[in-house]
Amino acid sequence: MRQDGTRNKHDDAARAGWLYYVAGNTQDEIAAKLGVSRQTAQRLVSLAMSEKLIKVRLDHPIASCLALASELRSRFALDLVEVVPSDPGNPDTTLGVADAVAAELERLLSAPEPRIIGVGTGRTLKAAVEAMSPIDCPQHKIVSLTGNIAPDGSAAFYNVIFSIADKVSAPSFPMPMPVLASSASERELLHQQVGIERTLALAAQASVSFVGIGDLGPKAPLYMDGFITQDELKLAQKAGAVGEMLGWTFNADGVLIQGMINDRVASPPFPSRETSLVVAAAKGANKVDAIRAAVRRRLVNGLITDEETAQALLA
Amino acid sequence: MRQDGTRNKHDDAARAGWLYYVAGNTQDEIAAKLGVSRQTAQRLVSLAMSEKLIKVRLDHPIASCLALASELRSRFALDLVEVVPSDPGNPDTTLGVADAVAAELERLLSAPEPRIIGVGTGRTLKAAVEAMSPIDCPQHKIVSLTGNIAPDGSAAFYNVIFSIADKVSAPSFPMPMPVLASSASERELLHQQVGIERTLALAAQASVSFVGIGDLGPKAPLYMDGFITQDELKLAQKAGAVGEMLGWTFNADGVLIQGMINDRVASPPFPSRETSLVVAAAKGANKVDAIRAAVRRRLVNGLITDEETAQALLA
DNA sequence: TATTCGCATGGGCAATTACTCATATTGTAG
DNA sequence: CTACAATATGAGTAATTGCCCATGCGAATA
């Protein structure tokens, strides 16, 4: 019943959205055509937007974004760079970057040749996956590049492998283990488990990976989400850590911090930039140092970011 | 100068459109962010829409459209069916159908395997091509399935091969000859010309073709555009002709009319439905009979139409 | 240099859209 | 059957948007 109700509502919303955005009707006309009140029509249109039934994409290469992209590409010898416009004044939404990642993922997944695609975690990737259209692509495999167990034992919220599995019908492979092991030796044990070993092997074969970048400032996601304590964060900062990808912390030169957190990162080794494409999706002033470090040391060979961040990286 | 001015304007328009539709800013905010007046911001946003810098697409399978599509598919054994929502009250715009054709074309053209794609003529196809994004795909070949010379010797306006060539950078092959020859024998002569013979051979190899369908009522496009006289139209109607594709007139059973106009159609033979996909793009009450004839006799094996037309076809 | 033309700009106003809140309806549990 | 909760609806209102017009700026032309 509720199923049906929702479906019909979404149908109507889609129809209303189509009439509004594509056919250019006013909400009064839509109300008349659908036989509802104007307010209801308005709600349907707004629902079509908020539920992403209607997708809007910018189809024009904004010159300055293109210029920034090509400068980033040559400066850091990157293989894939995408720069989306910024929304000055709303510096914290992942909006544009997520959309761009979604588009890239859709492009990849709609290709016929089978691929193994690695995905990390984070708000940006999560938002990207949510912006994707459902797609049927059993030829590909999607493998998580991090554990999916939060410190309290629950499923880590920003792990995106499950969101992807909901959205696209491709075989997907979570890493059934914590993000951080309690010690280096526990990590070894975990990695020797048969199921995990197999998934790790699969991850190593990924030809494209998407990862988020976390900063290690006072609001480091690793700390905010409870993966590390404040003391551990302080120690890492003292050791020069500026950012983190897949849990691996690194300093301003893009060199992995020795010991400490990195001894316990349960993720597979960082994917190869010689044999595969590793795309970082990140934006924001607080991440600039981390992103710069990652691209300078070529921890990644692809970057999707926004205009402001691109400018800061090149400054 | 104008080049630069326009480019910057389009840049600004794209940016404004992005801020408006993607980031959800109001026009006041956009005005502030771009440093222009609110009115200018409004103009930029509206420009972004009218210039199609911002593309909107419906990303939700409206149940009734899906149902109609699958019923059409099974009833007429079609290989490709797409049904888009109708805009009740605006029955004459090619809007939705053209967008759907554009999406299908973009999908085809962005595939890596080389293809030969045939295109017919007509308002719907023309609108579809105009709705496409520019795309670089030198691997494909696009070949016109009709002549491109109007009766008065000028370029036939609704020939779309040139529009396509403007839009996508793929080798394209017009048919440098009239749509209708003056006689059957002139047609033979035309078809033996070296340049044309080669293009005809190419057309025969098309693996996908898109064609419009014209009705043969009192406002038959073939007549309105001056390709045939009113007497010829009347004669064709008397002979039972209900529609026309690529100039080939056919009756309600989808059987080509013997003699008359069809003796003079300069187009290559109708593409094979055994070895290739032939998609008709058409909608409208006045075309229902023609479309039904075409799908019943399998003159086409693909159809892109709208809800109302689909309902009429199934009635 | 003066004139005219084209076009961009911003004010003002009408139309349209978004939101808030009170009320009605539907479904659900006791 | 009643009460409750959740949700949907409609009226009223504030905010936003679209359009027309008067004004001004700059370029082309005489």
Between CA B41 and C1' C5 the distance (Å) reads 26
Contacts of A66 in chain B (CB under 8 A): none
What mean pLDDT comes out for the span B80-109?
89
- What's chain B's average pLDDT? 89
Token readout for B5 is: 């001015």
pLDDT tens digits, one per residue of A210-225: 999 999 999 999 898 8
Nucleotide nearest to B25 (CA to C1'): D16
Footprint on protein of nucleic strand C, Cβ below 7 A: A 1-2, 20, 26-28, 38-39, 42, 45-46; B 36-37, 39-40, 43
What mean pLDDT comes out for the span A170-175?
89
The more confident residue out of A148 and B18 is B18
User: Burial, A84: exposed, middle or buried (Cβ in 10 Å; 0-12, 13-18, 19+)?
Assistant: buried
Of B19, B33, B88, the CB nearest to A33: B88
Q: How far is CA B197 from the centre of its chain?
A: 24
What mean pLDDT comes out for the span B39-44?
90
CA distance to partner chain A, nearest, from residue B70 (Å):
17
pLDDT at B157 exceeding the cut of 80? no
pLDDT at B209 exceeding the cut of 70? yes
**pLDDT at site A71:** 93
Which nucleotides in chain C lie closer than 7 A to a protein CB?
Answer: 8-12, 16-20, 27-28
Contacts of B54 in chain A (CB under 8 A): 56-59
CA distance to partner chain A, nearest, from residue B127 (Å):
14
CA distance to partner chain B, nearest, from residue A257 (Å):
37
pLDDT at A3 exceeding the cut of 60? no
Between CA A6 and C1' D5 the distance (Å) reads 19
Between CA A30 and C1' C26 the distance (Å) reads 25
Nucleotide nearest to A2 (CA to C1'): C27
Between CA A49 and C1' C26 the distance (Å) reads 26
Between CA B39 and C1' D13 the distance (Å) reads 24
**pLDDT at site B314:** 94
**pLDDT at site B279:** 97
Q: For chain A, which domains are there?
A: 2-50 (1.10.10.10), 63-314 (3.40.50.1360)
CA distance to partner chain A, nearest, from residue B311 (Å):
17
Whether residue A313 contacts residue A291, with contact meaning beta carbons closer than 8 Å, is answered with yes
Of B59, B87, B133, the CB nearest to A59: B133
In the Cβ-directed half-sphere of B18, how many Cα atoms lie within 13 Å?
Answer: 25
Interface touch A55/B53, C-beta < 8 Å: no
Between CA B33 and C1' C11 the distance (Å) reads 21
Give the C-alpha distances (Å, rounded to integers) separating A228 from A213, A289, B85: 16, 20, 52
Burial pattern B12-29, b for ≥16 Cβ within 10 A else e, equals bbbbbbbbbbbbebebeb
**pLDDT at site B234:** 93
DSSP letter at B272 equals P
Q: At a CB cut-off of 8 Å and minimum separation 6, what does A102 contact?
A: A128, A129, A131, A132
**Rounded to 5 degrees, what are φ and ψ at A130?**
-70, -25
A9 vs B: CB within 8 A: no
Question: Given pLDDT bands bounded at 50, 70 and 90, which one contains residue B260?
Answer: confident
Q: At a CB cut-off of 8 Å and minimum separation 6, what does A50 contact?
A: none
What mean pLDDT comes out for the span A92-117?
89
pLDDT over 90, % of chain B:
51
Interface touch B23/A87, C-beta < 8 Å: yes
Burial pattern B89-99, b for ≥16 Cβ within 10 A else e, equals eeeeebbbbbb
In the Cβ-directed half-sphere of A156, how many Cα atoms lie within 13 Å?
Answer: 31
A162 vs B: CB within 8 A: no
Start-to-end C-alpha separation, chain B? 58
**pLDDT at site A35:** 86
Question: Which has the minimum average pLDDT: A280-284, B29-33, B153-157, B272-276?
Answer: B153-157
Distance CA A38, CA A34 (A): 10
pLDDT tens digits, one per residue of B221-258: 989 888 889 999 999 999 999 999 999 999 999 999 88
A266 vs B: CB within 8 A: no
**Rounded to 5 degrees, what are φ and ψ at A28?**
-65, -45
pLDDT over 70, % of chain B:
97
Interface touch A57/B55, C-beta < 8 Å: yes
A26 vs B: CB within 8 A: no
Report the nearest residue to nucleotide D8, CA vs C1': A40
**pLDDT at site B212:** 95
pLDDT at B3 exceeding the cut of 60? no
A90 vs B: CB within 8 A: yes
DSSP chain A: -HHHHHHHHHHHHHHHHIIIIIS---HHHHHHHHTS-HHHHHHHHHHHHHTTSEEEEE-S--HHHHHHHHHHHHHTT-SEEEEEPP-TT-TT--HHHHHHHHHHHHHHHTSSS--EEEE-BSHHHHHHHHHSPPB--TT-EEEEEEEEE-TTSSBPTTB-HHHHHHHB-S-EEEEEEESB-SSHHHHHHHHHSHHHHHHHHHHHT-SEEEEE-EE-STT-HHHHTTSS-HHHHHHHHHTTEEEEETTEEEETTSPBPPSGGGGTB-SPPPPPTTTSEEEEE--SGGGHHHHHHHHHTTS-SEEEEEHHHHHHHH-
In the Cβ-directed half-sphere of A122, how many Cα atoms lie within 13 Å?
Answer: 27
